[in-house]
Amino acid sequence: MYKDIDINEIEKLKKDQEMMSLKKAPTNIKERFGQSNKDFLEDEFKQKTVGLVTREEFKRKRENIDNLVMQDMKQKQEEENKRKLELKQKRKEEYQKKTTLLSFDLDNEGSPQKSYGKNEHVDTTYLPDMNRERKIEEMTRQLAEQYQKEVESQKDSLIDIQFQYWDASTCSKSLRIKKKMTILEFLEMARREIIRDFGFLTEFSPEDLIIVANGMILPHKLSFYDLIAHKVKNRSGTLIFSFDRRKVQAKGQEYEVEVEKSTTCKIIEKFRYEKIKHIYPCSKWENVEINKYQ
């Protein structure tokens, strides 16, 4: 029956087993009376390998026991990791509850009932508030858009501007324009109106002309809206432009127009002004400071 067994090998395996048993022998009371699954499996292995067994059977049973021990250790490790994770999560939830608890309310029975969030009876305006900041940003954006629409509406409103050539040799004329028109654009329109009386103006471009309103020389780059909105005044403190609102009919529709009631603008060539600027009334004219109104 055991003709294929090498007696020397069996003796050697038994000696190895005895040495392992000595190494794993319990060294204290806890190990003696608190036998683990690993110890139990080792005992079972010893019982199954008592007597003569083949080398293959011994190795197979040893491998089976080792696999069972590894599975047991792996299962215990997984259970320990799970327990630690649950404990960590529980502590985290308890900490969050403590840090977010800001007030207590009483229920109908008079017992304290926890409520989370800001206390409505305490001034918390100094604390960061994302919802409040978003509302402020939205309100600011809406106000900015509304203001811009009002500005554009004002720029598109109509005004009547009276003007004449500087020597007052002809009657004054009037042009109905939008407030957003620049002084340079107005000079071109005015030049075309008075060119029939002063043909020599055909030789001049709008850049060669200047316009004076209430003793102030108006910069070409500014618009009438800039001058009106900033309430530009002359040396004596009088507004350059002052308007009356009137309702007019045009193309079957009624609309409002602001009509200049006191100022008649004077148009003169630049080169001529340079020659006579020391003579009254040119000597009293002043330049509007463009940097103040851009």
CATH of the domain at 176: 3.10.20.90
Co-location of 162 and 33 in the same domain: no
Q: Which of 40, 72, 92 is the last residue of a domain?
A: 92
Co-location of 162 and 281 in the same domain: yes
What does the pLDDT look like over 153-195, one tens digit per residue? Answer: 999 999 999 999 988 676 789 999 999 999 999 999 999 998 8
Residue 267 has pLDDT above 90, yes or no: yes
Q: Which of 92, 114, 129 is the last residue of a domain?
A: 92
Residue 64 has pLDDT above 80, yes or no: no
Q: Which of 69, 92, 115 is the last residue of a domain?
A: 92
Question: What mean pLDDT, rounded, does the chain reach?
Answer: 78
Residue 110 in any domain: the answer is no
Co-location of 262 and 181 in the same domain: yes
Q: State the pLDDT at residue 21.
A: 56
Q: Find the domain containing 161 and state its range.
A: 154-292
Residue 143 in any domain: the answer is no
Residue 120 in any domain: the answer is no
**208 contacts: CB under 8 Å, gap ≥ 6:** 269, 270, 271
Q: State the pLDDT at residue 277.
A: 92
Q: Measure the CA–CA gap between 271 and 284, rounded to whole angstroms.
A: 17
Q: Measure the CA–CA gap between 266 and 165, rounded to whole angstroms.
A: 6
Residue 28 has pLDDT above 90, yes or no: no
Amino acid of residue 102? L
Which DSSP string do the residues of 27-71 spell out, in sequence order? -SHHHHHS--HHHHHHHHHHHHT-S---HHHHHHHHHHHHHHHHH
If you average pLDDT over residues 280-291, what whole number do you get?
Answer: 87
What does the pLDDT look like over 104-157, one tens digit per residue? Answer: 444 555 555 555 566 667 777 777 778 888 888 999 999 999 999 999 999 999
pTM: 0.53
Residue 125 in any domain: the answer is no
Residue 211 carries which DSSP code? E
Q: State the pLDDT at residue 160.
A: 92
Q: How many domains does the chain contain in total?
A: 2
Q: State the pLDDT at residue 13.
A: 64
Amino acid of residue 226? D
Q: Which of 129-133, 197-201, 225-229 has the lowest mean pLDDT?
A: 129-133
Burial class (CB in 10 A: 0-12, 13-18, 19+), 193: middle
Co-location of 169 and 273 in the same domain: yes
Q: State the pLDDT at residue 190.
A: 93
Co-location of 174 and 61 in the same domain: no
Residue 124 in any domain: the answer is no
> Which of 227, 211, 202 shows the shortest CA–CA distance to 162?
211
Residue 237 carries which DSSP code? S
Q: Which of residues 201 and 28 earns the better pLDDT score?
A: 201
Residue 36 has pLDDT above 70, yes or no: no
What is the pairing mode between strands 101-106 and 112-116? Answer: antiparallel
Place of tokens 């190990």: 31
Confidence of residue 103 (pLDDT cuts 50, 70, 90): very low
Residue 24 has pLDDT above 70, yes or no: no
Helices (H) and strands (E) in the chain, counts: 8, 9
If you average pLDDT over residues 59-85, what whole number do you get?
Answer: 80
Residue 173 in any domain: the answer is yes
Answer whether 231's CB lies under 8 Å from 127's CB: no
Residue 122 in any domain: the answer is no
Residue 144 in any domain: the answer is no
